[in-house]
């Protein structure tokens, strides 16, 4: 079995702190502790986040292969679930509207998507606005599934229900809470 964090406590604390910083400052890029060796097909940032956030009470869905699923089961203990029942989803997702979006009474029950991307840049064509952003923040993202921004925008009228997203690239991540509005600079 491939190793998780070299120091499980400090690694999980560092990953949790990076996730909280990213969520508090949507679109800011945060570095995560480096894992010594994640299985093929498992993004390092996504793997680190799951080691910090997932446990035996958080249903997980992933399209990753058997080795990655085994690694996640061993290190996190998270049960695997269908996409609509998952608290965390890893990888290119099924249609966003079919995922767990919480309810008006319990919007916190909405799922969190960990989405690997090819590139994350501090500056780019995307303008982010909303809580945690003074004015606006720019972000560059490459490698998203086709139609992702339109599908995400279609969820906005459901607020406070929705889907939180962590964009994962290597050992870095950026958060897009459901309250963050994303438009293209024009």
- Structure confidence by residue, pLDDT tens digits, 58-85: 999 999 999 999 999 999 999 999 999 9
Reply yes or no on whether the pLDDT at 128 is more than 70.
Answer: yes
What are the structural domain ranges in the chain? Answer: 8-184
pTM, rounded to two decimals: 0.95
Reply yes or no on whether the pLDDT at 186 is more than 70.
Answer: no
Q: Are 173 and 49 in contact (CB under 8 A)?
A: yes
Reply yes or no on whether the pLDDT at 5 is more than 70.
Answer: yes
Quote the pLDDT of residue 36. Answer: 74
Reply yes or no on whether the pLDDT at 39 is more than 90.
Answer: no
Tokens (6 digits) for 60: 């997980």
- DSSP label at residue 110: B
Omega of the bond leading into 33 within 30 degrees of 0 (cis) = no
CA 159 to chain centre: 19
Straight-line distance from the first to the last Cα atom of the chain, in angstroms, rounded to the nearest whole number: 48
Give residues with Cβ within 8 angstroms of 7, minimum separation 6.
none
Topology of 8-184 in CATH? Rossmann fold (3.40.50)
């Amino acid at each position: 079995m491939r190793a998780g964090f070299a120091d499980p406590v400090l690694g999980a604390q560092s990953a949790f702190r990076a996730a909280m910083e990213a969520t508090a400052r949507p679109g800011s890029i945060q570095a995560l502790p480096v894992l010594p060796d994640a299985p093929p097909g498992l993004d390092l940032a996504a793997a680190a986040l799951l080691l910090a956030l997932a446990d035996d009470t958080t249903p997980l869905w992933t399209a990753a292969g058997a080795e990655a699923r085994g690694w996640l089961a061993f290190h996190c203990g998270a049960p695997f679930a269908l996409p609509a029942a998952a608290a965390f989803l890893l990888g290119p997702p099924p249609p966003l509207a079919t995922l767990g979006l919480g309810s008006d009474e319990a919007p916190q029950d909405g799922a969190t998507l960990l989405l690997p991307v090819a590139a994350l840049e501090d500056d780019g064509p995307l303008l982010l606005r909303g809580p945690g952003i003074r004015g606006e923040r720019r972000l560059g993202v490459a490698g998203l599934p086709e139609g992702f921004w339109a599908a995400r925008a279609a969820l906005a009228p459901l607020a406070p229900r929705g889907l939180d997203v962590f964009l994962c690239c290597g050992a870095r991540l950026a958060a897009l809470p459901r309250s963050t509005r994303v438009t293209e600079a024009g």
